Chains A and B, each alone.
Chain A
Amino acid sequence: MRTILYLIRKEFIQIFRNKFISKAIFAVPIVQMLILVPAVTFELKNVDIVIIDKDLTPESRGLISKLAGSTFFRISGKTWSEKEAENLMLHNKCDIILHIPDEFGMNIGNGKPAVLQAGIDAINSSSAQLSWAYINGIIRDYNSDITIDNISTSGVSSFPIIDITNRYWYNEELNYKYYMLPGILVILVTAIGFLLAGLNMVREKEIGTIEQINVTPVRKHQFIIAKMVPFLLIGLIDLGVGLSIGKLAFNIPFEGSILLMFLGAAIFLIAVLGLALFLSTFSGSQQQYMFVAFFCMIIFILMSGIFTPYESMPQWAQDFNLINPVAYLMRINRMVMLKGSSMNDISGELISLGVIAVCFSTFAVRRYRKTA
């Protein structure tokens, strides 16, 4: 036990001797969280619409003012020429072209169907679909405004209506910050733990100092534990810092137990550090390890469901996620923070993470060779 403590002390001295790294470990997460968390949102805002109104009747104007009144859209221009409108789209000056043909008002007046065309820049297909859904909603509203006018004048009885109400629990206003903060936090903790721990190990190999440890009676598991503990602590401190930022800067609700989050993060870090040290035994140089780590991190993070719904992934991807520690922590963090899930609710995730942690750490100890 004493040996491990001494080794841990040595690791801390080594880490904090590098002035840049010792500051960056804490400063980078703070800065990135402050800058990035408010930035990311799928919420649609300020979608620029160019209108080609060939109709110029009260009906077309009514529809346009309805669009202009919504928070999603911004009427950025009007034109008569389709060519000009398409050119604006090519220049990224508008996202949607709304074309109101010239019989629009007349057809509505005569009770005939009035056709309307929307052209949407669909390079980002999910934004395009969302814009289209919103436009449709506004048109439907406008439509029923007119219909109600007609019905009330003609006295036709209404048809059965299913009235739909929806509520969002745990995050009523669908604030994206609540969603992204736990996610970004997981990435930062992963990046720092995974990258630094492995690099640290490979660096000892590269500059040869690992030989000095190898000739001592230090046991394999003692060495690995001593390499893990400092980064485990740093990761947990980073988590604490990140959570405080969430509370102080973004006022993110804390429904669940903070202790439970730290427990999840600790098991997660053991898993990630174990994997890092395991992979580091395969690399001879820091450069090589960095690429391996980069490769794994990109895959882990993208597959973890940070930006995308987890269930939409095909079965093979979900199977892969069984060994992806990031996916577990991503779920645990969001569930505990936002929904207040209890130990019981996340026990499955915790147990799986625990199994992964034990396996990876054992691999790391096994693979580490004291002989050159």
Chain B
Amino acid sequence: MKRFLGFVRKEFIHIFRDYRTLFILFGIPVAEILIFGFAISMDIKNAGVAFLDLSHDEITHKLSDKIISSGFFRKTEDLLSYNDIDKVLKKGHTKAVIIFEEDFGRNLIREGKASLSIIADGSEPNTATLITNYTTAIVNDFNMGLAGTQVSSALKIIPEVKMFYNPNLQSHFMFVPGVITLILILICALMTSVTITREKEFGTMEVLLVSPLRPVQIILGKVTPYFILSFINVLLILALAWFVFGLPVKGSLVLLLAETMLYILMSLSLGILISTVSSTMQQAIFISLIGLLLPTILLSGFIFPIENMPSVYDYVSLIVPPRYFIVIIKNIMIKGTGLMYIWKETLILAAMTTVFIAISIRKFKIRLE
């Protein structure tokens, strides 16, 4: 035990000596949380819209003012003819063109019907849908105002909505759990796989192997510091979420931390597994960074919900561990549920950990070839 502790101390010294890495280790989650919180959002704001007003009457002016003053849009230019549409959309600053037909106002008043068309740039599908949805809502609203009392009597069903768990529809309810999930698996897998392959590549592994330490102790000694650092990282993210966004942990903090430890263990054992199959650091980095980064972001349900994907992905994503942890952490943090609701996911993570460790033990070579 004393030997083991000594070894852990050696590893800590290695880590602390490299203060730049340590700084980045804690800098990454902070930067991510701030970017997700303050820089990017799925919603549109100031999206560039151009108008092609073939009528130029009082109503079209009012309506275009109403559209612009909503805050979702920013007017880029006024077009003169249909031929300009392609040109402005290709430039990329304008995301949609709103077209009022000729004699829009007169048609609306005399014939009771006028038409407006929206041409949106479909190369950004999400933005395009939001722009058409918002514009349609604004125009409908304007239409209601024109129609006055006649409509209110026609509207019979009044839908009311209650947003569960996140009544103010804040995006950090989604990204804080996502960032924790992403950061933990990447950092743990990267760190462990790299530090172990480093010893292999430099030949210092042999020094360790001939020492009285047993292989298990060497591996445990390697991962213990990262276990502790990752755990501190989680506390840091939770604190940041709490102080910056006021996002509390609704369920049991103890349960959350226990589940996090399980997830860290899983990630560390994945890192060990990667290290047993890689001979150089570059290889380990390649597998853990390029191989894990995109699948973790895209297939875990972090940003893109799994149920929207084609049905094969119900099965493909089964082997992506973050998928389970995202469910667990959302349940505990945001819904406030207990172990009863997440025991299945917990068991799967535990099973994955066991499998990774079992394979690593079988593959671990005590001798260098």
What residues on B are CB-neighbors of A291 within 8 Å? Answer: 20-21, 24-25, 28
A226 interface contact, C-beta 8 A: no
Contact B129 A174 (CB under 8 A): yes
Q: Which of B210-218, B231-239, B300-308, B354-362 makes up part of the contact surface?
A: B300-308
What residues on A are CB-neighbors of B285 within 8 Å? Answer: 195, 199, 286, 290
- Select A159's contact among B122, B150, B170, beta carbons within 8 Å: B150
A39 interface contact, C-beta 8 A: yes
B294 interface contact, C-beta 8 A: yes
- Bound-state CA distance A151–B95 (Å) is 39
Contact A286 B281 (CB under 8 A): yes
- Bound-state CA distance A176–B310 (Å) is 12
B276 interface contact, C-beta 8 A: no
A56 interface contact, C-beta 8 A: no
What residues on B are CB-neighbors of A165 within 8 Å? Answer: 115-118
- Select A143's contact among B47, B157, B173, B313, beta carbons within 8 Å: B157
- Bound-state CA distance A371–B18 (Å) is 23
Instruction: Type the 1/0 row for B13-45, where 1 means its CB is closer than 8 Å to any CB of A.
Output: 000001011001101100110011011111111
What residues on A are CB-neighbors of B142 within 8 Å? Answer: 162
Q: Secondary structure of the B side of the interface?
A: helix
B169 interface contact, C-beta 8 A: yes
A288 interface contact, C-beta 8 A: yes
Contact B123 A160 (CB under 8 A): no
Contact A116 B158 (CB under 8 A): yes
Contact A119 B299 (CB under 8 A): no
Contact B308 A136 (CB under 8 A): no
Contact B39 A21 (CB under 8 A): no
- Bound-state CA distance A95–B246 (Å) is 25
Beta-carbon nearest neighbor of B127 in chain A: A309
Contact A295 B21 (CB under 8 A): no
- Select B120's contact among A146, A166, A346, beta carbons within 8 Å: A166
CB distance from B286 to the nearest CB of A (A): 6
What residues on B are CB-neighbors of A175 within 8 Å? Answer: 125
What residues on B are CB-neighbors of A18 within 8 Å? Answer: 280, 282-283
Q: How large is the interface on B (under 10, 10 to 19, 20 to 34, 35 or more residues)?
A: 35 or more
Contact A311 B95 (CB under 8 A): yes
User: Given A139-B159, A162-B142, A311-B45, do A128 and B337 touch, yes or no (CB 8 Å)?
Assistant: no
Contact A92 B327 (CB under 8 A): yes
Contact A295 B27 (CB under 8 A): yes
- Pair count A-B, CB < 8 A: 376
CB distance from A157 to the nearest CB of B (A): 8
Contact B162 A123 (CB under 8 A): no
CB distance from A278 to the nearest CB of B (A): 15
What residues on A are CB-neighbors of B286 within 8 Å? Answer: 20-21, 24, 28, 195-196
Contact A89 B126 (CB under 8 A): no
B205 interface contact, C-beta 8 A: no
B368 interface contact, C-beta 8 A: no
- Select B299's contact among A36, A114, A192, A195, beta carbons within 8 Å: A36
What residues on B are CB-neighbors of A345 within 8 Å? Answer: 90-92
Contact A147 B156 (CB under 8 A): yes
Select the residue from A123, A191, A314 with max chain B CB neighbours within 10 A: A123
Contact A317 B40 (CB under 8 A): yes
A214 interface contact, C-beta 8 A: no
- Bound-state CA distance A87–B92 (Å) is 46
Q: Which of B2-10, B132-140, B219-227, B258-266 makes up part of the contact surface?
A: B132-140
What residues on B are CB-neighbors of A38 within 8 Å? Answer: 309-310
- Select B21's contact among A147, A195, A288, beta carbons within 8 Å: A288
Q: Which of A229-237, A262-270, A336-344 makes up part of the contact surface?
A: A336-344
Instruction: Type the 1/0 row for A158-170, where 1 means its CB is closer than 8 Å to any CB of B.
Output: 1111111111111
Contact A338 B44 (CB under 8 A): no
User: Given A114-B158, A287-B195, do A311 and B298 touch, yes or no (CB 8 Å)?
Assistant: no
- Select A288's contact among B18, B126, B195, B295, beta carbons within 8 Å: B18
Contact B44 A309 (CB under 8 A): yes
Select the residue from B123, B155, B278 with max chain A CB neighbours within 10 A: B123
B164 interface contact, C-beta 8 A: yes
What residues on B are CB-neighbors of A35 within 8 Å? Answer: 295, 299, 316
Contact B156 A108 (CB under 8 A): yes
What residues on A are CB-neighbors of B242 within 8 Å? Answer: none
- Bound-state CA distance A184–B255 (Å) is 36
Q: Which of B105-131 contact A (CB under 8 A)?
A: 108-109, 112-130
B254 interface contact, C-beta 8 A: no
CB distance from A11 to the nearest CB of B (A): 14
What residues on B are CB-neighbors of A287 within 8 Å? Answer: 18, 21, 194-195, 198, 281
What residues on A are CB-neighbors of B303 within 8 Å? Answer: 40, 307
Q: Which of B316-349 contact A (CB under 8 A)?
A: 316, 327, 330-331, 334-335, 337, 341
User: Given A32-B294, A125-B170, A143-B157, do A312 and B47 touch, yes or no (CB 8 Å)?
Assistant: yes
Instruction: Type the 1/0 row for B191-207, where 1 means its CB is closer than 8 Å to any CB of A.
Output: 00011001000000000
Contact A341 B92 (CB under 8 A): yes
Q: Which of A218-246 contact B (CB under 8 A)?
A: none
Contact A126 B42 (CB under 8 A): yes
B146 interface contact, C-beta 8 A: yes
- Bound-state CA distance A43–B133 (Å) is 14
What residues on A are CB-neighbors of B68 within 8 Å? Answer: none
B165 interface contact, C-beta 8 A: yes
Instruction: Type the 1/0 row for A345-356, where 1 means its CB is closer than 8 Å to any CB of B.
Output: 110000000000
- Bound-state CA distance A126–B287 (Å) is 32
21 of the cross-chain contacts (CB-CB < 8 Å) are A20-B279, A42-B42, A90-B335, A113-B158, A114-B157, A116-B160, A123-B166, A126-B42, A126-B43, A146-B156, A159-B148, A169-B121, A171-B125, A174-B122, A179-B124, A191-B289, A199-B281, A295-B24, A308-B41, A308-B42, A317-B38
Chain B residues packing against A (C-beta within 8 Å) = 18, 20-21, 24-25, 27-28, 31-32, 35-36, 38-48, 74, 85-86, 89-92, 95, 108-109, 112-130, 132-133, 135-136, 139-140, 142-143, 146-148, 150-151, 153-167, 169-171, 173-174, 186, 190, 194-195, 198, 278-283, 285-287, 289-291, 293-295, 298-299, 303-305, 307-310, 313, 316, 327, 330-331, 334-335, 337, 341
* A-B pairs with lowest CB-CB distance, top 10: A171-B122, A168-B122, A122-B163, A159-B147, A338-B123, A174-B125, A125-B169, A122-B166, A317-B39, A166-B118
